[in-house]
Amino acid sequence: MSERAALPDLDTLNHEALKALIIAQHAQILSKDEQLLSKDEQLLRKEAQLASRDEEIERLKLLIAKLRRMQFGRKSEKLDWQIEQLELKLDELEASRAQQLAASPAPMAVSVVNRAAKRARQPLPAHLPRETHRVLPKQEVCPDCGGKLKQLGEDVSEMLEYVPEHFKVIRQARPKLACACGDKIVQAEAPSRPIERGMAGPGLLAHVLVSKYCDHLPLYRQSEIYAREGVELDRSTMAEWVGGCSRLLEPLVEALRRHVMSAEKLHADDTPVPVLAPGNGKTKTGRLWTYVRDDRPWGDRTPPAVWFAYTPDRKGEHPKAHLSKFTGTLQADGYAGYDAVYEAGRVKEAACMAHVRRSFYDLYEAHKSAVAKEALERIAALYTIEEEIRGRSAEERRGIRNARSRPLLESLKQWFEETLGKLSTKSDTTKAIRYALKRWDELMRFCNDGHLEIDNNAAERSLRAVVLGRKNYLFAGSDAGGARAAAIYGLIGTAKLNGLNPEAYLREVLSRIADHPINRIEELLPWNLAAELTGSSRRAA
Render pLDDT for 281-319 as a digit per residue (tens, 0 to 9).
677 889 999 999 999 999 999 999 999 999 999 999 999
- Residue of 177, 163, 197 whose CA lies nearest to 135: 177
User: How confident is the model at residue 110, as a pLDDT?
Assistant: 44
Average pLDDT of span 399-420:
96
Q: Is a pLDDT exceeding 60 seen at residue 49?
A: yes
pLDDT at 131 exceeding the cut of 90: no
pLDDT at 166 (0 to 100): 78
CA angle 158, 163, 164 (to 5 degrees): 160
Give the mean model confidence (pLDDT) for residues 236-255: 94
DSSP strands (E only) in 208-335: 265-276, 283-293, 305-311, 328-331
What tens digit of pLDDT does each residue of 14-47 get? 667 767 777 777 777 767 666 665 666 767 766 6
Checking if the pLDDT of 116 tops 50, the result is no
| More confident site: 51 or 199 | 199
Q: pLDDT, tens digit, for every residue of 172-226?
A: 888 888 887 767 888 888 888 888 888 899 999 999 999 999 888 888 889 999 9
Give the model's pLDDT for residue 148: 83
Q: Which of 455, 289, 303, 481 is nearest to 387 (CA)?
A: 455
Highest mean pLDDT among 111-125, 138-152, 224-238: 224-238
Give the residue with greater pLDDT, 16 vs 153: 153
Give the number of C-alpha atoms closer than 13 A to the C-alpha of residue 503, restricted to the C-beta side.
Answer: 19
Share of the chain above pLDDT 90, in %: 49
- For residue 474, which of 308, 281, 309 has the smallest C-alpha distance? 281
Closest CA to 289 of 270, 272, 306: 270
- What pLDDT digit, counting tens, does each position of 477-524 carry? 678 888 999 999 999 999 999 999 999 999 999 999 999 999 999 999
Please give the C-alpha separations between residue 106 and each of 43, 74, 111, 196, 521, in angstroms, as whole numbers.
11, 49, 9, 11, 23
Q: What is the pLDDT of residue 464?
A: 86
Going by C-alpha positions, the residue among 354, 301, 315 that lies closest to residue 331 is 354
- Contact at 8 Å (CB) between 311 and 287? yes
Asked if the model's pLDDT at residue 150 lies above 90, the reply is no
Q: Which residues pair with residue 153 across a beta bridge? A: 176
Neighbours of 54 (CB within 10 A): 17
Nearby residues of 253 by Cβ (< 8 Å), 6 or more positions away: 307, 487, 490, 491
Q: Which has more confidence, 1 or 243?
A: 243
223: phi > 0 → left, psi -120 to 50 → alpha, else beta; which? alpha
Residue 117 is predicted with a pLDDT of 44
pLDDT over threshold 50, residue 109 = no
- Mean of pLDDT over the chain: 84
